[in-house]
Structures are given as structure tokens and as C-alpha cells.
A and B are shown apart, each in its own frame.
Chain A
Amino acid sequence: MRGALTVYRKEISDYFSSKVFIILLALIYIAGLGFAYLSIQAIKSAPLSSDQSLLIKVFIDELFFLKLFTVGEIRALMTFNFVRFFGAFIPLIGILFGFNSINSERNSGNISRIISQPIYRDSLINGKFLAGITTLSLMISSIVFIVMGIGLRTIGVPPTSEEILRIFIFIFICIIYGTFWMSLSMLFSVLMKNVAASILTAIPIWLFLTFFWPFIAPQITDQIIPVEAGATLATQLSNISLSVDLLRISPFILFYEATAAIVDPTLGHFALRVTESDLSKLIARPLSLSQSFLQVWPQMVVLIMLAFICFAISYIVFMKQEIRST
């Protein structure tokens, strides 16, 4: 474990001094602050138009503070808000953190020097993995906390304890999501000798699952279960449920469902499984924290499993790979 700790410390210091890290951090801060500004504007302007004072709005809206992360601009039929932005941007951070972790060590010739030191071979991959998660966590939580701080100053409404808990769960989901993408690109860095090949494999997969799959999945569904005019309700329902199942192949959808139920539980999300007793509450008021958590549990477990599986494969392949001198 000592070896992994040394690798971990070195990797952390590498991250914090690397240009990629600084650029990503700058981008995520700029974008995060931009979205915070948008939502603050939207929140501030809302009471004026609807003749309600901010105070009344707070009482009606139980999860007012979370609006910081979910209110945004609607442009071209897409909502742009903080959560959406995270859903799109976190994978990129994960990929950039992982894509060269092992093959660059191999290409630079460092690997044989490092693993001939008195450490176990897995120390290298473990230390790198943990350092990646740590850096990812710091990036994500720092921007969320900054937005919270700004929100507190500008709106002047403190978050309730429930909201704080929800935000922590949100951060946790973001970290899991980033970890999945990092372990996926780490897997490519183990499998592929070429650094360019591993990033050029990871990025199209990210693009496909995030941006194209949500359009393709319904098309596939319509081919399998066509819904024509006058179709029965049963057909329509089975069409929708198949479409949802297909959509969930994409980790982006899993992330979206999970975060939506946590930070934006008032919306009727297409994939929520609502029990009878919840149905009445759903319309009037947001899901309770425990209910929200129950809703996202499967998504979270799947994301954790995906991250774990990718890391496990990387680990096994890395341990079995022959270390050749050339």
C-alpha cells in the first residue's frame, strides 16, 4: 500500500501542475459561474412577473435553493442548466484524466523503471486511479460549492438541511459518473499502446452515448414497436418503456435520471418509477429525499458497477501484461 501511496502523491502533484488540469479547471469554473448567473437571473426575475414576493416563492417552493442548479435557459428546445452542463462536461474530464495513464508510462520507458522498484505492480494502477478520483472530486465539489456560495449571497436564501444533503448526493453522483469515464479511458490506455488511439476511441464513444444515442434509441424503438395512428394504449406504453430501457444503455441518461430526481424532483421525469402512494404527492410537491434516493438507487448502482467493471478489466489486463524491455 505504501507504494500506491507514493504513486498517488506523485500523480496528484502531476495533475495540479499539468496544463490540461488548469485549462479544464478554468473551463468548468467559467461555465459553472455562467450557469449560476443565468439561474440567478431567472430566479430573480420570476417573482416580479408573477406578482409574488421572493419570500412567498420560497414558502411555496420547498426546494428553492436547488433551482440554482436546475433553472436555465431554453434554447433550441434544449434546457441549458448546470446539471446538463455537468452531464456533458464531466465525461470529458474523466476521459482526459485516464486516456494516457498507463500507455504514456509504457511509451516513455518509465514503466520498467518504476515497477522494478520494490513495490507491487498494482500500486501503479491503483495510485493513478485514486489520484484521478481525488482530483475529479476536488474539481467537481469546488465548483458546486462556489456556485452555492454565490447563490447564498445573491438570493439570500440559505439552503435547508435537506437541500444540502441533496447537493452532496448530487456531487457524489457526479463523481461516480466521472469515475466511470475515467476508468473507461484508463481501460483503453491499458489496451492500446498508442496514446492518440486511446483518446480517439474514448471520445467518439462519449459523443455517441451522450449526443446521438438519445436520438437513435427512439428510432430503434419505433422500428420494433411501431406506434401508428389509433394504436392502443398498451402499444404506446410498451413503445415508451422499450424506448426508456434502450436509452438507459447510455450512462449519460443514467446520470441525467439520477441527478434530476435528486436536484429537480418536481419535474415529472420520463423514467421515474412512481409508486401509487407517491402519485398524488408528485403533482403537488417534490419527492421526499428518501423517495428521491429510492428512485435513483438503481441508476447509481449501475454507474458504480460500470466504473468498477472497467477498472477491474484494466487491473486484470495490466497485471497480466508482459513487461518487455522494448
Chain B
Amino acid sequence: MNNNNNEPIIVAENLTKQYGGTTVVNNLNLKIKKGEIFGLLGPNGAGKSTIILMMLGLTEPSSGSIRVAGFNSTKEPIKVKRVTGYLPERLGFYEDLTARQNLKYTAELNSIAQKDIESKIGEALEIVGLEKNKNQPVNTFSKGMKKRLGIADVLIKDPQLAILDEPTEGLDIKIANQILDNIQILNNAKNITFMISSHQLNLIQKICTSIGIMSKGKLIGEGKIDNMGRGLFSEGRYIIEIELSNVNPEIIQKVRTIKSVVNVESNDNILEITSDEDIRSQLSRVILENNMLITKMNIKDSSLEEIYLKYFKEE
């Protein structure tokens, strides 16, 4: 396995897809590095699934190109699919067959040598915690078990890249978290690059090393979560929220004079301070010098949900 983590595993250039006049993916440029857990986030219909289908060569782009692991997805789909595992959003198995039989079929479609198949199935099922259900028909499985089986199905081929489309949708938090833990462990232990498409931000946020936000076919934000929050909220500035025992115009004036403060807004006892730097220590000194009490202070968290809401409010 290649451990050079700076090399991109997915490169999309000016990728566009139109379905009968409507543009589903609009001039997308994206690079995902090896070893990342990349979260592709956006509401339903933002074009996430279409990007995935184009990555796997299942749908042809209208223009532009996409390369996965160095292969052009449109021209060499078989080579791409050999190194890429895919968990579809609407995941289905052959219900009458057992978990083992389903995975065996996948293994055979991947031309895995017969002698290795059983051990690979055992290993994959153990990772997702289904080894006890190996010989159970899939129609006895719960939704969460099926998703886990789906991940085992992806692992069978020892992928370099795993693309998971809505892996936690419709699952309760506990099971969703188990799946996310699995992903994180696999990312570390097997150096599998993950690309997770989802609209469940809070869940996915925890494990992503970087994210991209999609809206109406466009990638409107991309990068590390921390950087992204600041970038999106206040043009790269910090927003500090501070609650005081009481607020008077004098203190607002004093705060404004602190270096790098751009704006101060007051609302009852709460001040919202925009600045170019993290000025919390100066701020508390100024306030204490004025014999005022800080009841609460925090840097507005760039939680994914807020980023996300922000984006969709702007629409």
C-alpha cells in the first residue's frame, strides 16, 4: 500500500454533469489526499451521489474529468473499481443468501483467489462485528446490521479508497457511532482513504479530517473543519461572545480600542466581538480592570451544523 499521503487519490477537474438541461454537478474541482477521511456534505439533491457515480464510472460526466487512484474513471472504470469500495445509499443484498454467501459473490466478482475467499470473509465480518451472523440469511438482519455488512462488503476487496454514501442514514445514534468508529479504525489501521457523503453533519464531523460542502451542484467550501468555520463565518476572523454582569457604552468603547478588534455588537448583556486574532486574554483584562464580571465567554464554535446552516441560509 502506498503510504505517500500527500498524493491525491481523487482529482476532479471542471467536472460537470447535466441531466436533460438541469445541471446536477457544476464545474467541480476537488482534490482528496490519500489517507484522509473526507466528508462530502450537503442536502439531498446537492449532487453528492452523482459525483460518486462519476467517480466509479457508472455515469459519464457531461464535461470535465475525474481521476481516482491515477485512473480516469470514465475511460478505465474497471481499474478504478478494482481499488475502490462503494457502499451505495440504497444498499441491498440478496435476502435469501447468507451474509457469507453474499460476500463470497462480491469476492468472486473481484476475482479473489478461491483459497483466500473464506479467510477474507471471516476477517471482514470480524471487523464489523458480524462474525456470529455469518451463516444467517440477510433477511433476518436489521438495518444497522445490513449497513455493517455493507462495510464488510467494501472491505472484501482490500480497497485503497472506500466511498460511503450516507453510511449512517436511518440508524440510531449508537449504531451510527459504531460504524463511524469502524471507519476511523480502518482509516488508521489499513490506511484506507474514506470519502463519506452525508447530510448528517454532527455525526460525520467527528471523524472527518476534511470536508467539502456541496450545494446545488457546486462545491461551496472545502478544507479542514476549523479553518473552514472561521473562513465561512467572518472572512477569516474570530467571533468572541462574551456575557457580562452588566453592559454600558463605556465598556463597549474600551473593547473597541483593543488592537485587531473589527466590530463590537451588543445585545442585552452579551457582546459579540469580531477580531482578527484570538483576543480573549486582553479582553478579560480590560473587563476586569473596569470592575465588571464575566459570566460567560467563548469563541463561537465553527461546528459543522452552523457552517452548514450558514450556507443554506445564504441560498
Contacts and interface: CB of A to CB of B under 8 A. Distances in A.
Given A112-B58, A116-B58, A118-B82, A326 B90 contact: yes
Interface stretch (A2-10, A34-42, A45-53): A2-10
A153 interface: no
A323 B58 contact: yes
A110 B94 contact: yes
Nearest to A115: B58
A179 B52 CA distance: 37
Interface string B90-125: 111111100000000110111100000000000000
23 contacts: A2-B111, A3-B109, A9-B108, A108-B92, A108-B94, A109-B88, A109-B91, A109-B92, A110-B93, A111-B92, A112-B58, A113-B150, A113-B153, A116-B58, A116-B88, A117-B157, A118-B81, A118-B82, A118-B157, A119-B81, A322-B19, A323-B59, A324-B49
A114 interface: yes
A325 interface: yes
Nearest to B83: A118
B58 A120 contact: no
B165 interface: yes
B108 A112 contact: no
Contact of B52 (A6, A9, A117, A325): A325
Interface string A289-326: 00000000000000000000000000000000011111
Contacts of B110: 117-118
Interface of B: 19, 49, 52-53, 56, 58-59, 78-79, 81-82, 84, 86, 88-96, 105-106, 108-111, 150, 153, 157, 165
Contacts of B53: 323-325
Given A116-B56, A322-B19, 9 more contacts: A6-B105, A6-B109, A10-B108, A108-B93, A109-B92, A117-B157, A118-B79, A119-B109, A325-B89
A127 to B, nearest CB: 10
Given A118-B111, A119-B109, A326 B49 contact: yes
> Closest 4 interchain pairs by CB?
A109-B92, A117-B109, A325-B49, A112-B88
Contacts of A17: 96
Contacts of A325: 49, 52-53, 88-90, 165
Contact of A117 (B59, B81, B165): B81
B116 to A, nearest CB: 15
Nearest to B87: A113
A14 B58 CA distance: 26
Contacts of A111: 92
A110 B92 contact: yes
A116 to B, nearest CB: 4
B111 A112 contact: no
Contacts, number: 77
Contacts of A120: 78
Contacts of A2: 111
A170 to B, nearest CB: 35
A14 B84 CA distance: 27
Nearest to A114: B109
A257 to B, nearest CB: 41
Contacts of B19: 322
Interface in A100-140: 108-120
B51 to A, nearest CB: 11
Nearest to A17: B96
Nearest to B19: A322
Contacts of B56: 116
B109 A118 contact: yes
Contacts of B79: 118
B52 to A, nearest CB: 7
Given A2-B111, A323-B53, A323-B59, A117 B90 contact: no
A114 B94 CA distance: 11
Nearest to B93: A110
B40 to A, nearest CB: 13
Contacts of A113: 86, 88, 91-93, 106, 150, 153
A273 B246 CA distance: 109
Contacts of B157: 117-118
Contact of B90 (A10, A14, A112, A115): A112
Contacts of A7: 109
A7 B81 CA distance: 17
B155 to A, nearest CB: 13
Contacts of B82: 118
Among A17, A108, A112, A117: residue with most chain B CB under 10 A? A117
A10 B89 contact: no
B70 to A, nearest CB: 15
Contacts of B165: 325
B109 A112 contact: no
A117 B80 CA distance: 9
B169 to A, nearest CB: 11
A106 to B, nearest CB: 9
A117 B53 CA distance: 13
B78 A119 contact: yes
A116 B81 contact: yes
Contacts of B52: 325
Nearest to B82: A118
Nearest to B86: A116
Contacts of B88: 109, 112-113, 116, 325
Given A110-B93, A118-B82, A322 B59 contact: yes
A124 B222 CA distance: 37
A119 B59 CA distance: 15
